[in-house]
């Protein structure tokens, strides 16, 4: 029932994370509360570093995709695990650097970079730009020229793979708003032009096909497509890519219905396939970059809410209401994403109460789960949503003027506050 290895039940019948009692964590730090487990983050990182060292060419490395979860205190953990990082905005660049991260290990994404954004990234010495489109390429060239540097770049290309994930997190298809399509011939033009420019240096290609993908085949096909394109570009423009960045996307288990994939095995297959493909085309083996976000952060986090009430509409359904919701976890409202939830205060009771869990916003879509079974709560019980480490805090809002919750990091039976809860003053701080 508990899905993840870092969760347990203690003698008081309370849910534990990293060995710590979640009900006590709420008593100490307040509610609602995001809780992250540092050991679990590190374990998730090591799956990548170990498998990539074993199965992928030398110089290959994982980049943590900060869009999944971005705050200052996370970057020293990620960096000490040997990760570089993918950033998608000046705000993420700022946060990573504020956390002490080496900017030369940052890879800067984004489909709508302004001149100001480009300048900011150059001034802060980000290692690579992942160029999304022609306009950005031209702007980057002249801004890099102005700064007197030659900027390393990867080109984001769309390889035309549909990974069969949810529409809103599917990015590999030809009509995606991200990158330039290979199949239309436009990606070749992208390469030709970038080779003409004086202030950018093309190193290779980036492609990201989507998120929450459980199959291996789309990734293997992606390697084939990148290789075909790279071979074509070698013939046409005498350019041999030295880097293939395959993006992120490995799926994680949110409920028992989701399959549990082996990231290690996926990486092994990618490596094996890459080697065969390079041998077939007599192509020097490129370094592989992977950009995991969800599979690093999701399973390391939970959210703890206080139950505010139980409302039973006779003959219809039962609502359990909690003191958070779509402001700290938008994923159900956005994608109908399923989560596993438990009553952290009553773990030894049967989960037999069928209910829908609603948040505190004035919005019928403010739900965290529909028709799930919980140990029947009463007002004041702590409800835990499991697997909320990714795309929860990073997508949080102040809708209805709900402050963002605090985040606590647990590690080795200790806890520390890494993000304090927003105050009402914080919410009006920018208002004049």
Look at phi and psi of residue 347 and say left if phi exceeds 0, alpha if psi is from -120 to 50, else beta: alpha
Q: How far is the CB of 70 from ligand PLP (least distance, A)?
A: 12
Strand-pair category, 353-358 with 406-411: unpaired
325: nearest Cα among 295, 293, 294, 370? 370
Residue nearest to ligand PLP (CB): 248
Q: How far is the CB of 103 from ligand PLP (least distance, A)?
A: 18
Bridge partners of residue 170, in order along the sequence = 210
Name the phi and psi angles at 176, rounded to 5.
-65, 150
Q: How far is the CB of 420 from ligand PLP (least distance, A)?
A: 26
Catalytic residue among 70, 355, 362, 430: 362
> Contact 16/302 with Cβ under 8 angstroms?
no
Binding site residues, ligand PLP, CB under 6 A: 65, 67-68, 86, 109, 169, 171, 208, 211, 247-249, 291-295
Q: How far is the CB of 375 from ligand PLP (least distance, A)?
A: 31
Q: Which is nearer to ligand PLP, 221 or 295 (CB)?
A: 295
Distances (CA, A) of 276 to 9, 58, 270, 285: 47, 16, 10, 10
Strand-pair category, 15-17 with 128-131: unpaired
Q: How far is the CB of 252 from ligand PLP (least distance, A)?
A: 8
Q: Which is nearer to ligand PLP, 15 or 330 (CB)?
A: 330
Q: Which is nearer to ligand PLP, 166 or 397 (CB)?
A: 166
CA distance 365 to 177: 27
CA distance 218 to 222: 6
CB burial of residue 323 (10 Å; 0-12, 13-18, 19+): middle
Q: Which is nearer to ligand PLP, 132 or 328 (CB)?
A: 132
- Is 362 a residue of the active site? yes
Q: Which is nearer to ligand PLP, 182 or 322 (CB)?
A: 182
Residues belonging to the active site: 362
């Amino acid at each position: 029932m508990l899905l993840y290895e870092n969760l347990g039940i203690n003698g008081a019948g309370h849910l534990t994370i990293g060995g710590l009692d979640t009900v006590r964590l709420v008593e100490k730090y307040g509610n609602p509360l995001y809780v992250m487990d540092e050991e679990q983050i590190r374990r998730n990182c090591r799956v990548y570093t170990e498998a990539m060292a074993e199965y992928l060419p030398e110089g290959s490395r994982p980049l943590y995709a900060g869009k999944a979860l971005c705050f200052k205190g996370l970057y020293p953990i990620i960096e000490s695990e040997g990760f570089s990082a993918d950033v998608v905005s000046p705000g993420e660049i700022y946060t990573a650097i504020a956390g002490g991260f080496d900017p030369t290990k940052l890879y800067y994404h984004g489909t709508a970079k302004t001149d100001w954004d480009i300048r900011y990234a150059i001034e802060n010495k980000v290692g690579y730009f992942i160029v999304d489109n022609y306009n950005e390429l031209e702007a980057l060239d002249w801004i890099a020229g102005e700064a007197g540097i030659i900027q390393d770049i990867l080109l984001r290309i769309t390889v035309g793979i549909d990974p069969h994930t949810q529409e809103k997190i599917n990015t590999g298809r030809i009509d995606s708003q991200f990158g330039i399509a290979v199949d239309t011939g436009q990606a070749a033009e992208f390469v030709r032009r970038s080779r003409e420019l004086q202030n950018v240096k093309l190193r290779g290609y980036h492609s990201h096909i989507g998120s929450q993908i459980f199959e291996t085949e789309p990734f293997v096909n992606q390697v084939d497509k990148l290789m075909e394109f790279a071979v074509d570009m070698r013939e046409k423009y005498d350019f041999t890519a030295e880097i293939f960045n395959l993006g992120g996307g490995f799926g994680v288990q949110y409920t028992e219905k989701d399959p549990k994939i082996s990231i290690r095995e996926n990486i092994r297959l990618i490596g094996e396939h890459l080697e065969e493909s390079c041998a077939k085309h007599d192509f020097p083996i490129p370094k592989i970059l992977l950009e995991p976000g969800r599979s690093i952060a999701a399973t390391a986090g939970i959210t703890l809410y206080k139950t505010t009430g139980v409302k039973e509409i006779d003959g219809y359904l039962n609502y359990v209401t909690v003191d958070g919701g779509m402001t700290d976890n938008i994923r159900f409202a956005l994608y109908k994403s399923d989560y596993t939830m438990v009553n952290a205060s009553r773990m030894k009771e049967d989960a037999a109460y069928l209910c829908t869990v609603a948040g505190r916003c004035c919005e019928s879509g403010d739900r965290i789960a529909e028709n799930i079974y919980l140990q029947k709560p009463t007002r004041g019980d702590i409800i835990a949503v499991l697997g909320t480490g990714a795309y929860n805090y990073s997508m949080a809002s102040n809708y209805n003027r709900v402050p963002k919750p605090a985040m606590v990091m647990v590690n080795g039976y200790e806890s520390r506050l890494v993000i304090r809860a927003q105050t009402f003053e914080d919410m009006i701080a920018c208002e004049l």
